[in-house]
Amino acid sequence: MGRTKDIRAAVEAELNFDPLIDPADIAVRNMSGQVALNGTVPSYPQYLEAAAAAQRVAGVTDVHNHLEVVLPDRDYRDDAMLTTAANNALALNITVPDGVEAIARDGNLTLTGVVNNGAQRAAAASAVAGLTGVRNVRNEAAVWDDADATNVTVHVQDALDRSALIPDDSVDTSGNTVTLAGHVRTWAEHDAAVGAAWMTKGVFEVHDEIYVTG
């Protein structure tokens, strides 16, 4: 019971500590390291940052982000205006290739198109995440590259081995559609593994089955 209360209190303290988050309407629940965030936040960046803040807390093994983005009236944008703003942001981002497009429905952005690697895919989402009027981002941009699929697993494992954050032999890999399995101690190690996989040439999709021990 004490440990459960300690983790919940620590997550609440981290939410209050983070200057990018207004935690007034966020409720935290914890069940043996499984943390749930409920309530509302006024922007999509705060939705993302709240989960990231909870993941920074020792003992947290998973975060279930049930927060809803409720925009202040001044931040509302109709679908046509937000779609235009999002496509302009994508066009102005040098890392995002031509052909990636966005469409908005009730503040929810969907990204489509083809990119060369996971870094470009992530850059597309980052380019639009902070736009006024965004309630959520669904990234459906597809990764395509002509790299030899038989070498993908080796390249991913090499990238994991080079990372200072990832313990040796903590994560196993397999496939052109990469599946990551195994265990790490922290969410920082987890994110480093997933990020390394997505950056590898020839990876089209990443299945994340890593267990965070906390």
Residue range 164-208, pLDDT digits in tens: 888 887 787 777 788 899 999 999 999 999 999 998 888 888 999
- Asked whether the beta carbons of 41 and 18 are under 8 A apart, the reply is no
- Report pLDDT for 203: 87
Q: Which residues of 95-104 are buried (b: 16+ CB within 10 A; e: fewer)?
A: ebbeebbbeb
- Report pLDDT for 5: 64
Q: How confident is the model at residue 1 (pLDDT cuts 50, 70, 90)?
A: very low
- Asked whether the beta carbons of 206 and 198 are under 8 A apart, the reply is yes
pLDDT at 104 over 50: yes
Same fold, 2-69 and 149-212: yes
Query: What phi and psi, each to the nearest 5 degrees, are found at residue 183?
Result: -140, 150
- Looking at CATH, the fold of the domain delimited by 149-212 is given as Histidine-containing Protein; Chain: A; (3.30.1340)
What ranges do the domains of the chain cover?
2-69, 73-143, 149-212
Q: Which two tokens stand for residue 83?
A: 């779609």
Domain 2-69 class, CATH top level: alpha beta
Kindly report the average pLDDT of the chain as a whole number: 92
**Which region among 68-82, 143-157, 187-201 has the lowest average model confidence (pLDDT)?**
143-157
Q: Which two tokens stand for residue 47?
A: 């939705």
